[in-house]
Amino acid sequence: MPNFLDSNHTAATSRPGKSPQRPTKKILCVTLHFDDSHRPIRRRNKLPQGMGAAFLAGAFSPGLCHIKTYSEVYSGPLEDEKLLAWPDMVVLTGVTNCFDRMLQVTAYARSKNSKVIVVAGGPAIRAFPRYAAPFFDYCCTGDMEQLQEVVREALGAEYATREMIPRLDLAYWVGMHGHVETSRYCNFHCNFCSLTGEKTRYQKYDLQYIEKQFLLMGKRRTVHFIDNNFYGNDRDFFLARLALIDKYRKKGFFTYWSALVSGDFFSNEENLTLAAQSGCTALFSGVESFDGNSLRNYNKLQNTCLPQVELIRRCLSHGIAFWYGLFLDVYSRTIDDIQNEVDFIFSNSEITLPGFLTLPIPLPGTPYFNQCLERKAFFPATSLRHLDGTTLCMPPVSPLDEVVPFIRRIQHLKQQRKRILQHALGFRRRYHAVLNLEKMFYALASNALLCLNTMHPIQSILTKRYAPPSHISTTEAFEKTYAPRFPVLSRYRSHFTPTLLTDHQGAVNEALLPDIRSPHPPPPHTP
Ligand code: B12
Ligand code: SF4
């Protein structure tokens, strides 16, 4: 390992602030990302983009802090040595499978500046707070407002804001697509969802807080509401937000909007009429499966109110593009069964194609994870990094040597390009009267994304340089993404080894057991 140094080797120190009384503090907020292609690439075209870094930046007083944000989704892995040596405090966030990336960035920052304070939070920390604690200065299991408490304690009360308004002005990665959140968490409890595992409760933001986000976001072509469930369980709140949308649309802040909604939204057709009238271009809903039994197994009963095809048709007929993801549940279904479902979708120009196809992910803390653990289902040497939706971490129903080529085929829809194109032409013919050019573009974005996944030039070059993924956790090699990109102190060697969920014999990693046996309490009700 050439990239580990003895402790006394590097360790740059940060420059002191100008005023001895109130020195400026340098803050770096980072949204981490391990790409599911297992390559160190950036995803500039992903929608929505991760907003964690910009939201968390709202904890720091702008007058006293020099704040920088970085998104690994948009900009690729953070490896800029100067930037990593710069901050007094680094704040880390990201989805569950990024935990090891949090460790790596911590090692980089501490190797450059031994005094840097590292704060980490988000789903991985919530799932394993005891395990994570020794790696960071602060492990936060609360909501983003907890960062204000950390700032007060670590830097001093004057460095924290009183009201936490997301710094949407620092979200350099959103381009013409503003991102705003109007509610937190969800009123449903799907068995695979990390929000269910965290026992969080659906929370509404007040309208003034939403207005502040619009103002900070500035004028954009579209605004994407990144709420887990924009519809929620309070229709009056939904109507009030539509009125607010209308107001800001008329003021010219944006022309169109899109949101994530749960399946029950589509049962009341008036919702679609009102959404369309207020400029909604696209709705995303987690369809997951067209199979009723699967939906019941996932405890996704809100998707059984209407047949899925009817739901999608209804949305499109109101002139709103429909986006969704599909589960390739090889753990409970045969590949023939799943292939039939995929064939049905691809040959049906009444509905849009899924924007992404993913294996179900047993996210730690969820009922699904606990069931898998009870069945001792996990493959040996499965790590947190493998929980990405493209790596098998448990035995599938069909034989493994058939499932792996199936996943490969479906991830790289090379043979399907003709079908994807035919689908797009059929879809266009059917819906051109109700979807204008921009909405048609959004509706067919899934077709384009499915093709581009394999045609993107950088992706193709990297694919040649990297060994193809094995798609099986036990044999998936991560050497390249686990090698330090520049010299780091040898004491951080362990930050570059995957965090194992199961050991090489298949037993659960003992170090994680205290967190698994007694999960942390749900975060307090904040907004
Ligand atoms: C944008 C987005 C993405 C983006 C960017 C993800 C990223 N790296 O941030 C992309 C498109 C890449 C993405 C991908 C996936 N995503 Co996504 N995504 C989102 C989305 C819509 C918004 C995330 C966001 O920016 N939220 C704003 C921040 C501020 O809120 P938050 O992250 O929820 O954090 C809260 C707490 O955790 C806490 N917190 C978080 N960090 C920190 C740090 C500190 C210091 C503190 C104090 C608090 C704190 O504070 C917040 C509440 O106040 C959420 C839904 C949502 N509304 O959150 C889903 C969500 C995060 N995604 C989810 C999933 C399942 C996925 C996929 C696995 C889907 C798939 N099967 O392919 C993939 C991951 C694949 C991969 N290789 O990484 C799940 C949870 C995932 C998990 N726990 O791992 C969510 C919650 C959706 C859902 N309800 O199921 N996603
Ligand atoms: S509807 Fe979506 S956000 Fe809500 S619990 Fe289910 S998967 Fe999670």
Same domain, yes or no: 151 and 248: no
Check pocket membership of 222 for ligand 1, CB cut-off 6 A. no
Q: Ligand 1: does its nearest atom lie under 6 Å from the Cβ of 96?
A: yes
Q: Which tens digits make up the pLDDT trace of 218-247?
A: 999 999 999 999 999 999 999 999 999 999
Radius of gyration of the chain (CA): 23
Q: Whose CA is nearest to atom 30 of ligand 1?
A: 52
Q: Report yes or no: 253 and 292 within 8 Å, Cβ to Cβ.
A: no
Residue type at 228 in one-letter notation: N
**Which one is predicted more confidently, 20 or 288?**
288
Indicate if ligand 1 lies below 6 Å from the C-beta of 388.
yes
Whether residue 453 lies inside any domain: the answer is no
Over residues 268-272, the mean pLDDT reads: 96
CA angle at residue 269 from 265 to 234, to 5 degrees? Answer: 40
Residue closest by Cα to atom 3 of ligand 2: 228
C-alpha 474/C-alpha 453 separation (Å) is 25
Instruction: Encode pLDDT of 152-174 as tens digits.
Output: 999 999 999 999 999 999 999 99
Residues 14, 74: one domain?
Answer: yes
- Cβ burial of 255 (10 Å; 0-12, 13-18, 19+) is middle
| 375 part of a folded domain | no
Which of 176-190, 281-295, 448-462, 488-502 has the lowest average pLDDT? 448-462
Binding site membership of 121 for ligand 1 (Cβ less than 6 Å): yes
Bigger pLDDT: 478 vs 125: 125
Name the strands in the sheet holding 117-121, side by side, starting at the edge strand that comes first in the sequence: 65-71, 25-31, 89-93, 117-121, 138-140
What's phi and psi for 79, nearest 5 deg?
Answer: -135, 10
Q: Where are the alpha helices (DSSP H) in 278-366?
A: 292-297, 308-317, 335-346
The answer on 119 and 72 residing in a single domain is: yes
Same domain, residue pair 42 and 134: yes
Quote the ligand 1 centre to 115 CA distance (angstroms): 29
Distance 37 CA to ligand 2 centre (A): 24
Mean pLDDT, the chain, as a whole number?
90
What's residue 12's pLDDT? 22
* Whether 143 and 216 share a structural domain: no
Q: Which run of H or E residues covers position 325?
A: strand 325-327
How many Å apart are CA 224 and CA 254, to the nearest integer? 10
- Tell me, in angstroms, the distance from the centre of ligand 1 to residue 94's CA: 6
User: What whole-number distance in Å separates Cα of residue 374 and Cα of residue 372?
Assistant: 5
User: Do residue 192 and residue 262 come from a single domain?
Assistant: yes
Spacing, Cα 228 to ligand 1 middle (Å): 9
Are residues 16 and 95 part of one domain?
yes
Ligand 1 mutation pick, 38, 49, 95, max ligand atoms within 8 A of CB = 95
- Say if residue 52 is in the same domain as residue 98: yes
Q: Which atom of ligand 1 is nearest to the CA of 227?
A: 57
Domain contains 479: no
State which H helix or E strand residue 281 sits in: strand 280-284
Where is average pLDDT lowest: 378-392, 441-455, 498-512? Answer: 441-455
Q: Atom 66 (ligand 1): residue with closest C-alpha?
A: 95
Domain, as residue range, for 26? 4-165
CA of 285 to the centre of ligand 2 (A): 9
Task: Look at residues 301, 323, 345 and tell me which one is the last residue of a structural domain.
Answer: 323
Q: Is the pLDDT of residue 265 over 50?
A: yes
Q: What distance in angstroms lies between residue 466's CA and the mean position of ligand 1's atoms?
A: 27
Q: Which ligand 1 atom sits closest to the C-alpha of 140?
A: 47
Answer whether residue 467 shows pLDDT above 80.
no
Work out how many domains the chain is built from and give that number. 2
**Closest ligand 2 atom number to CA of residue 186:** 4
Q: What is the pLDDT of residue 139?
A: 97
Q: Which of 133, 165, 197 is the last residue of a domain?
A: 165
> 270: which residues sit within 8 A by CB, 6+ positions away?
none
Pocket of ligand 1 contains residue 31 by CB under 6 Å: yes
Distance 101 CA to ligand 1 centre (A): 15
The enclosing domain of 210 has a CATH number of 3.20.20.70
pLDDT band at 464 (very low <50, low <70, confident <90, very high): low
pLDDT of 183 reads 98
Answer yes or no: is the C-beta of 231 below 6 A from any ligand 2 atom: no
Give 9's pLDDT tier (boundaries 50, 70, 90). Answer: very low
**Position 68, amino acid:** K
Whether 519 maps to a domain, the answer reads: no
Cβ 202 vs Cβ 231: under 8 Å = no
Predicted confidence band at 452 (pLDDT cuts at 50, 70, 90)? low
> What is the spatial distance between Cα 275 and Cα 253, in angstroms, rounded to a whole number?
17
Confidence of residue 449 (pLDDT cuts 50, 70, 90): low
| Count of C-beta atoms within a 10 Å radius of residue 377 | 16
Read off the amino acid at residue 230.
F
> Beta partners for 322?
283
Mean per-residue pLDDT, 200-208 = 96
In the prediction, which pLDDT does 363 show? 97
Here the CATH number for the domain that contains residue 58 is 3.40.50.280
* Residue 193 CA, closest ligand 2 atom number: 8
> Does residue 473 fall inside a structural domain?
no
User: From the CA of 261, which ligand is nearest?
Assistant: 2
Which residue from 482, 498, 493, 495 is spatially nearest to 6, judged by alpha carbons?
493
Residues 195 and 271 occupy one common structural domain? yes
Instruction: Using the mean position of ligand 2's atoms as its centre, give its distance from the Cα of residue 188 in Å.
Output: 6
Q: Is residue 419 very low, low, confident or very high in pLDDT (cuts 50, 70, 90)? A: confident
**Same domain, residue pair 146 and 187:** no
Q: How far is the CA of 49 from the centre of ligand 1 (A)?
A: 9
- CB of 268 closer than 8 Å to CB of 239: no
Residue 26, both tokens: 């340098």
166 lines ligand 1 (CB under 6 A): no
Q: Which helix (H) or strand (E) holds 483?
A: none
Q: End of a domain among 323, 346, 363?
A: 323
Q: Is residue 33 part of a domain?
A: yes
Phi, psi dihedrals of residue 23, rounded to the nearest 5°: -65, 145
Residue 341 maps to a domain: no
- The predicted-structure confidence for 240-250, as pLDDT tens digits, reads as follows 999 999 999 99
Q: Which of 191, 199, 262 to mutate to test the pocket of ligand 2 (most atoms within 8 A of CB)?
A: 262
Q: Give the Å distance between the CA of 327 and the centre of ligand 1.
A: 18
- If 0-12 CB within 10 Å is exposed, 13-18 middle and 19+ buried, where does residue 521 land? exposed
Whether 216 and 145 map to the same domain: the answer is no
Whether 334 maps to a domain, the answer reads: no
Lookup: tokens for 427:
């879809």
Looking at the structure, tell me whether residues 226 and 161 fall in a common domain. no
pLDDT number for residue 526: 61
